[in-house]
Amino acid sequence: MPFLALLALLALTAPAAGPDAQAAGPSAEATALKKSCDKGAAADCLRLARLHALGEGVPRDAEKAASFLKKGCDLNLAAACLDLATAVRTGTGTKKEPEKASLLYQKACDGGAPAGCAEVAGMLIAGQEIAMHLGHAAEFSGRACDGGIAASCGILAGMYADGSPMPRDDAKAASLFDKGCTAGDAPSCARLAAMLRDGRGVARDPARAVLLARKSCDTGLPAACVALATALRKGEGVAADPAQALALFTKGCDGGDPRGCLGLGELVRDAAGGATRDPARAASLFRKACDGRAGAGCYELGQMTGRGQGVKADLAQATALFRQACTDGDPRGCTTLGQLFQSGRGVVRDLNRAVSLYEEACGKGDLPGCSAIAAMLYSGDAVGRDVPRAHALFEKTCAGGIAADCHTLAKMLGTTPADRKAAFDLNSKACAGGVAQACQEVAVAWEAGRDPLKALPFYEKACAGGIAVACDRARKLKQ
């Protein structure tokens, strides 16, 4: 906070100078300071301004304080420009002019006062006193961070993490959150804890994530309590404690963190952590999370609205919620919305729109979105057929656990011995993931290799998955 703000607070609480003090005139120090200020000693102008702000050795006079701050600033003293900017911004002893104040903060910043950089960045982000400009805000936040303003490191890190206004860069975000956290910024510690928990932009370290989250939660930061609650719920980096997670999600939600409402809503929906199952309350909590721009809250509420759980079924409203989830950073919303446009359920069928949404979801790391666009590329449905790219995406989704795509990859292979071996391995993985047709093909491969005993359990799995010929073959092998 600029020093003048503190002086103003002190001026309000300090006793007013009595008649004798007024009559006595300025103190010897004040007289000497004025002479040296008039001769161009900027630091003495600043000191005299602060005496007038406090009424120490001189009558308390906000206008004179502002005038001496102007002298100091005109002499290029950054600290004087910083205090003058606050006076002009608040209208203390001078006309209130936010636009002029922003220029004075910039001058202070240019003169080496990092607090000036932080203040103008805040004005540019808020967009209430001057026009919003996130690009310039990022620049000034970076300068403030480099100057030791811990909170500015966290603000800049958040921009990189959110991909606004610059491209998303998780590694840069994690580095800046670490810098802010090390310098004592609790919100930076909370955000870093979440990235350490997920291994996003930094090596995964659940134990350190818990340590940072607990430390920040103890300071009363709702976001940190939510990060700690998430770890306790999953047992990551700490012994699982669903009941404690419930308490911390509640604390975070009550403290205004939308992700706290999201976590609490999930526990209430699932009757977990000692919470009583209450679909209507869960829907209300998801609404609160969604209104707070937590995309996952919109997604979960969209699912409940589409199914009529806790709220009246309304596919049009569910569609709007999936759209909001996609906008607010939950790629599952993009994928689900893409499925609706692909099928024409609740919306006018639009395959081009579906492709765009799947691409967006995949770009944000949603494997079902990647799977969907891969299928369209492979079939050529609404997009030009691109088998090589489809293959690359199916490899990604298969490795990520989408069993059906492992089976699709197997079908894309040729008939060479190497291809048959690769197909066998892929189908084995798909079968383990519950793809009945893949189990059937593994069984056939084993039987072709003259090993019916190894084929039998795969025929049985295929049979359980509804493949009639597998049931027949399993019965014959048992005879």
* DSSP for 356-397, written as a single string: HHHHHHHHTT-HHHHHHHHHHHHHTSSS---HHHHHHHHHHH
Q: Pick the closest to residue 405 from 389, 391, 394 (CA basis).
A: 394
pLDDT digits (tens, 9 = 90+) for 381-404: 778 899 999 999 999 999 999 999
Q: Tell whether the model's pLDDT for residue 95 goes beyond 60.
A: yes
What pLDDT is recorded for position 293?
A: 94
Q: Tell whether the model's pLDDT for residue 9 goes beyond 50.
A: no
Q: Pick the closest to residue 341 from 366, 358, 365 (CA basis).
A: 358
What pLDDT is recorded for position 479?
A: 84
Confidence of residue 20 (pLDDT cuts 50, 70, 90): very low
What pLDDT is recorded for position 163?
A: 87
Q: Tell whether the model's pLDDT for residue 21 goes beyond 90.
A: no
Residue 449 burial (C-beta neighbours within 10 Å; 0-12, 13-18, 19+): exposed
Q: Tell whether the model's pLDDT for residue 10 goes beyond 70.
A: no
**Conformational region of residue 275, where left means phi above 0, alpha means psi within -120 to 50, and beta covers everything else:** beta
CATH superfamily, domain 1-144, is Tetratricopeptide repeat domain (1.25.40.10)
Q: How far, rounded to the nearest angstrom, does the alpha carbon of residue 184 sit from its chain's CA centroid?
A: 20
Q: How far, rounded to the nearest angstrom, does the alpha carbon of residue 317 sit from its chain's CA centroid?
A: 25
pLDDT digits (tens, 9 = 90+) for 269-309: 999 999 999 999 999 999 999 999 999 999 999 999 999 99
What pLDDT is recorded for position 7?
A: 43
The residue behind tokens 């240019």 is 110
Q: How far, rounded to the nearest angstrom, does the alpha carbon of residue 82 sit from its chain's CA centroid?
A: 32
- 336 to 61, 326, 377, 443: CA distances (angstroms): 63, 9, 18, 35
Q: Tell whether the model's pLDDT for residue 4 goes beyond 50.
A: no
Confidence of residue 16 (pLDDT cuts 50, 70, 90): very low
Q: Tell whether the model's pLDDT for residue 441 goes beyond 90.
A: yes
The Cα 210–Cα 217 span in angstroms is 10
What pLDDT is recorded for position 25?
A: 64
CB atoms within 10 A of CB 408: 23
The kind and range of the H/E element at 202 are none
> What is the mean predicted confidence (pLDDT) over 177-201?
93
Q: Are 342 and 373 in contact (CB under 8 A)?
A: no
What pLDDT is recorded for position 399?
A: 97
> What is the mean predicted confidence (pLDDT) over 433-450?
95
The Cα 453–Cα 462 span in angstroms is 15
| pLDDT over 90 percentage in the chain | 89
What's the mean pLDDT when you consider all of the chain? 93
Reply yes or no on domain 149-240 having CATH 1.25.40.10.
yes
Intervals of CATH 1.25.40.10 along the chain: 1-144, 149-240
> What is the mean predicted confidence (pLDDT) over 88-105?
97
Confidence of residue 12 (pLDDT cuts 50, 70, 90): very low
Report how far apart the first and last C-alpha atoms of the chain are (Å, whole number).
Answer: 85
